Structure 1
Amino acid sequence: MSSTNPLLEVTGLTKHFPVRGGFPLRRTVGAVQAVDGLDLRVAEGESLGLVGESGCGKSTTGRLITRLLEPTAGKITYAGQDITHAGRKELAPVRSEIQMIFQDPYASLNPRHTVGRIVSGPMEINGIDPPGGRERRAHELLELVGLNPEHYNRFPHEFSGGQRQRIGVARALALNPKLIVADEPVSALDVSIQAQVVNLLQTLRKDLGIAFVFIAHDLAIVRHFSQRVAVMYLGRIVEIADRDDLYANPRHPYTRALLSAVPEATAETASGGAPARERIRLTGDVPSPLDPPSGCRFRTRCWKATPRCASEVPALVRADGNGVGHLTACHYPEARDTVPGPRLSSGPGIAA
């Protein structure tokens, strides 16, 4: 991390959702460990990608960062201020600086409001009167995200999915934020539109200096957009590194398995030359967050698992003296400077 004073710092962030049972449904019988002990840092103007399988806790992490959810434990520090359990009054000046772009561009827009009202609404709620008025500023924002200012009086149902997401981006920009959490902003869009929205966000990050936490499951999109990448598995971060270092030298077995599943199209494979890289196939299903495995949570699907993996929780640390800022939570990290195998997992590892 280049910045000694990060814009956002998350330490031990935890969110457990209680599960009720019995009659009446008042007794807590368990907890879904959606997020369990996350450590993250995001510098000003930096883009951090957060990737992992569905259900690993990515979206919950985004909602915790924006304080749409109350953390169970841990600490969230924004611009040097502890906002972990800040009340409404304390959060008021911070709300405008931390915005969110939601996954479904239609569900996140009020169908009864015009585009103009959707975009200018945040300014009205926060009592902001920009030079020239809110309507003029809304027109500028619509133009900034590639929409026609004449769309001001139209309703969300009159737009395509890509245009709706651009409206959501314009709304997020209305308060001049310093940090935007983008929760799978292109997963609900057609492939032909995804690149347009990602390139738009990339341009806004560079031109306006906005920091991004970019949540996605598409590794190709994350590689294009993010400067650093954090890999999540079952509520915990298993690896975090600069983009180029992580994609070239993944250290955690789970990261290697993810990257081996990314399709590769090269001149050699197309012409029948060098064989395509073989996929690492993981056995078994992802364990339930209601009862995650002890020790390393990936051990039930890992081909390198030993009894130590069941008894000790691996710390997120540098595995060797190389790779500054490359952190891995694994007792037996992969060797550096090797391309992901042809290798198959031999079994489910240590029994859960």
Structure 2
Amino acid sequence: MNKTDVRPSDEVAPPPAKDALLSVRGLAKHYPVGGGVFGTKAVVRAVDGVDFDVAAGETLGLVGESGCGKTTTGRMVIRLLEPTAGTITFEGKDVTKARGRALTQLRQDMQIIFQDPYSSLNPRHTVGRIVEMPLTVNDIDPPGGRKKRVQEILELVGLNPEHYNRYPHEFSGGQRQRIGIARALVVEPRFIVADEPVSALDVSIQAQIINLLRKLQSELDLAFLFIAHDLAVVRHFSQRIAVMYLGKIVEVGDREAIYERPSHPYTRALLSAVPDVTKLGSADSKRIRLAGDVPTPLDPPSGCRFRTRCWKAQDKCAQEEPPLSPKRGGSLAACHFPET
């Protein structure tokens, strides 16, 4: 499949940023499906041409409605899923082509924290074995031994090292997520995909986990791709934000530009759903209710994918797919008629 299949024909992928730790260009994941009386085949375009960079020590928040392709994107970045098209480079190394020992080495530098702390931990294994597993798989023998390393990591994430021989069912949801974080950190990665790491937790526990991640990021110089649907959480943790809709990134920019001066109508609609006591009674406090349902990725709309729900859509939006380009608000947005 050519990259022209997953981006506008007149759009050229931007070069990787000079200071980027991770660079993603033209990333796509298509799932062929059979169907129809005549055996015709269709393609689910789960992710359909995505570009972004993450610098060392930075957090890029990836937000959007359920089903927009956020989790699929995160899993492709660390090669839990194989991309249909596109390139992923980490420190200049091509992740998409890595095999064998080269891929093993890259996976030490790139780890993931899963969404559900209840299903992501093997209930038959002790905490020590769960956290130690990445060391075993990658054949790493740290100074002082693996058990010592595991106990140090458990203490780092706020757990008692003496819990080494306990089982996951003996811990609360927040403690289980700390175990998942410890498992990701034990091989000393530089980049972490955090896939909705607090959405399955009580609100009172979410802040504790986010503050822990911020502390670890500062102490260990970690970079994050932080996937979430909660815009308030993303704002608290991310320096830059990428907004995703139906397999495409429709806007990306720094935190201030996205939250204070959104350029894409979809970004504005998402932000209108976030309560803000500082804007009560103002025009900006009105909730924007989008008409209709999200189109199916089996048959996305022509041109701009958001046009079927956009109050600003015109004929041009159906005819031409807008590329990501600089807007007055300071972000890059894929919109022919951006907010002002």
Identity, % of aligned pairs?
66
How far off its partner does 1:319 sit?
Answer: 2.3
- Assess if the C-alpha contact under 8 Å between 2:121 and 2:180 holds in 1: yes
RMSD of aligned residue pairs (Cα, Å): 1.8
**Deviations for 1:68-95, whole angstroms, at most 9, x for unmatched residues?**
1110011111110112132233311101
The whole-number CA distance in structure 2 between the counterparts of 1:104 and 1:118 is 15
Matches within 5 A, 1:181-196: 181-196=193-208
Give 1:240 deviation, angstroms. Answer: 0.3
Could you tell me which residue of structure 1 aligns to residue 112 of structure 2? 100
Deviations 1:84-135 (A, max 9, x none): 1322333111010000000011111111110000111111111111111111
Decide whether the 8 Å contact of 2:135 with 2:141 is kept in 1: yes
Residue 223 (structure 1) aligns with: 235
Structure 1: tracts of 5 or more residues without a match: 336-352
Q: Which residue of 1 aligns with 2:317?
A: 309
- 1:1-352 matched pairs, under 5 angstroms: 4-21=18-35, 29-266=41-278, 269=280, 277-320=285-328, 323=330, 326-335=331-340
Partner SS for 1:7: strand
Structure 2 counterpart of 1:309, which letter? C
Maintained 8 Å contact 1:264/1:276: no
Q: In structure 1, what is the equivalent of residue 12 of structure 2?
A: none
Deviation of 1:193 (Å): 0.4
Deviation at residue 168 of structure 1 after TM alignment: 0.2
Q: Which amino acid aligns with 1:245?
A: A
Amino acid at match of 1:5: D
Q: Distance in 1 between matches of 2:285 and 2:59?
A: 29
Distance 1:254 1:49, change over 3 A: same
| Gap regions ≥5 residues in structure 2 | 1-14
> What's the secondary structure of 2:32's corresponding residue?
strand
1:230 aligned partner, one-letter code: A
Taking the aligned partners of 1:279 and 1:54, their CA distance within structure 2 comes to: 19
CA deviations 1:282-331 (Å, max 9, x no partner) are: 100000011100100000000010110001010001024x62xx200000
Secondary structure of the corresponding residue to residue 96 of structure 1? helix
User: What is aligned with 1:345?
Assistant: none
Runs of 4+ in 1 over 4 A off after TM superposition: 273-276
Of the structure 1 ranges 121-130 and 9-18, higher mean CA displacement relative to structure 2 is found in: 121-130
- Letter matched to residue 163 of structure 1: Q
1:275, distance to aligned residue in structure 2 (A): 8.0
On the 8 A contact 1:35/1:60 being kept in 2, the answer is yes
Retained in 2: the 8 A contact 1:296–1:310?
Answer: yes
